[in-house]
Amino acid sequence: MLPQSFIFSCFLPFVLLRPLAFGVPVLSYNVEQITTLTYNFTLSAYNISLPNDNKTGAPLVLGQNGATSGVTPHVTSTHASFPYDDYPILALIDGSLRAYRSDGSWNTNATEVHGGTTLSWITTTIPYYSRPAPEIYSIVNVPLTKYPLLAAHGRHDLWSLCPFPGRLGQTNVVYNVSAVMNSTRNGFDTKECYEVILFIVPSLTGY
């Protein structure tokens, strides 16, 4: 029989790179909540039930989400479904998520997520439309994950990727799909969603 230490050493690289099994999740409120990061980052969605193409999962960007006078809404989409990245730098300040353009300008904040809603953003330079950014986001460090994880309302284990149909269909990040299970009224079919965790990947560019 092989020594236990040998068996463990063989599997260690896989253990360290595989996210924690979320069948019995380590709830975010049981670990330290970090509400301000000293570095900028990007987001990546890591599938916790199926193989991933790489160690960081699917890169995420601010995808299109319609338009209205004075306000440009966005939704967090996979880069594969929306191959543009006008806001390549993200930051977490006092529980609020910010998005920066390549030139360093900032007028984009994440909105508040609720059960069955997308991780969305609003861009505006008009004071009338400006609102205080919701302070509901945090970063948690969970054992055995490669990067810190994004949490909302104290939970990092409620994110999913869901395909949204249409001529320019995108795959978007949704919070707490279980709140709207078996419904298509939110613009997506919950049966096509799959659970992910959102990696905080440090950015090489900062402002």
pLDDT tens-digit series, residues 135-159: 999 999 998 888 999 999 999 999 9
Instruction: Kindly tell me if the per-residue pLDDT of 41 is higher than 90.
Output: yes
- 83, two tokens: 């191959």
Question: Tokens 């269909």 sit at which residue?
Answer: 169
Residue with the larger pLDDT of the pair 29 and 155: 155
How does DSSP classify residue 27?
A: -
Instruction: Kindly tell me if the per-residue pLDDT of 72 is higher than 70.
Output: yes
Residue with the larger pLDDT of the pair 87 and 133: 87
Angle among Cα 97, 58, 183 to the nearest 5 degrees reads 75
What pLDDT shows up at residue 3?
Answer: 40
- 108, two tokens: 């984009």
Angle among Cα 175, 157, 77 to the nearest 5 degrees reads 45
Domain 35-201 has CATH 2.80.10: yes
CA dist., res. 128 & res. 112, Å (int) = 19
Residue with the larger pLDDT of the pair 181 and 67: 181
CA dist., res. 187 & res. 166, Å (int) = 10
What pLDDT shows up at residue 206?
Answer: 57
Instruction: Kindly tell me if the per-residue pLDDT of 57 is higher than 80.
Output: yes
**Average pLDDT for 173-198:** 91
- Spans of all domains in the chain: 35-201
Sequence-ordered list of residues with C-beta below 8 angstroms from that of 66, at least 6 positions apart, any chain: 73
Let me know: does 177 contact 113? Beta carbons within 8 Å.
no
What pLDDT shows up at residue 174?
Answer: 98
What pLDDT shows up at residue 22?
Answer: 41
CA dist., res. 64 & res. 13, Å (int) = 38
Helix, strand, coil percentages for the chain (3-state, nearest 5): 15, 35, 50
User: What pTM did the predictor assign?
Assistant: 0.83
Where does the pLDDT of residue 29 fall: very low under 50, low under 70, confident under 90, or very high at 90 and above?
A: low
pLDDT tens-digit series, residues 105-133: 999 999 999 999 999 999 988 765 566 78
Sequence-ordered list of residues with C-beta below 8 angstroms from that of 99, at least 6 positions apart, any chain: 62, 74, 87, 89, 90, 106, 108, 109, 110, 121, 123
**Average pLDDT for 82-106:** 96
Let me know: does 15 contact 144? Beta carbons within 8 Å.
yes
Beta-ladder partners of 97: 92
Let me know: does 161 contact 174? Beta carbons within 8 Å.
yes
